[in-house]
Amino acid sequence: MAVVFSRQVAGERYEIRTAGHSVRLYTNGVLHTQYHPQRRVTGGVWDLLALPALALPQAKRVLLLGVGGGAAIHLLRDWCPGVQVTGVELNAMHLTLAKRFFSLKGRDITLVQGDARAFVEGYRGEPFDMVIEDLFGGNGEPDRSFAADRDWCNALGRLVNERGVLVINTLERKQLRDTALLSDRSVRQQWQSHLCLTLPAYANVVGVFYRQAITPAQLRRAVRADATRLKQERAGQLRYRIGVCAP
């Protein structure tokens, strides 16, 4: 793997590493994005963040909290024609590198450099079809930026419309169970479906909370409805496991 960019900024180490056509963003040794310009499917957690959009009646407006290099945005563009994505990213260098090395440009993307909590609390616009919360930091090892408590989960819920979905990335199953989305009854009852997505080689558990009743079988059928995705799944490029989350 070749290092094509390396810079220390305000005590943070940023690296862009390549392996063939694959491009990866590392910050303080933590992998934030993997991108292949000829194959948007990464085989990683970023695929799981975008997959829930496929079971929606429509996914035209998406909010992504924690952009990194934007791998999930590329997938949403491929899978949801006409989608408009608003991405909020605290780290200004991530946005600079995303534009330079990960082709994160276009009129269908609005990138906001700022604090996700401040953005969510101050947002007064139309709710979104899909909100993805992927807020991580860490030094050498990834960690969530802050706990998904009742106030935060309620704030996120206010940004999701009546037919939408909230997606949240966690490091393992207990961390997802501890979020207010599952541990707090009043928050849990705001969502009709509580699913989780995992990968064989990753510890991450992605929580998926739909306003409407969506079963694992329905989501699986939505993923396989497209011939290209079905081919990628059969080839082992698109990998995922779907389950039901329990408190």
Q: Which residues of 132-144 are buried (b: 16+ CB within 10 A; e: fewer)?
A: bbbbbbeeeebeb
Percentage of the chain surpassing pLDDT 70? 98
> Residue ranges of the domains in the chain?
41-244
Measured distance CA(4)–CA(16) in Å, rounded? 6
- Residue 210 phi, psi (nearest 5): -95, 145
Q: Counting every residue, how long is the chain? A: 247
142-151, 158-167, 202-211: the lowest-pLDDT one: 142-151
Four-CA torsion 81, 86, 87, 88, nearest 10 degrees: -170
Q: By C-alpha distance, which of 246, 228, 241, 127 is closest to 179?
A: 246
Distance CA 225, CA 53 (A): 13
Task: Return the number of other C-beta atoms located less than 10 Å from residue 76's C-beta.
Answer: 24
CA distances from 212 to 84, 126, 129, 133, 176 (A): 22, 19, 12, 19, 20
Q: What percent of the chain is predicted at pLDDT more than 90?
A: 81
- pLDDT on residue 29: 87
Is this prediction's pTM over 0.85? Answer: yes
163 confidence band (pLDDT: 50, 70, 90): very high
In sequence order, which ranges of the chain are alpha helices (DSSP H)? Answer: 45-50, 71-79, 92-101, 116-122, 150-157, 173-178, 180-183, 185-188, 216-224, 227-234
Close Cβ partners of 168 (under 8 Å, ≥ 6 residues apart)? 132, 133, 134, 148, 156, 176, 179, 181, 206, 207, 209
CATH 3.40.50.150 fits 41-244, yes or no: yes
Reply yes or no on whether the pLDDT at 72 is more than 70. Answer: yes
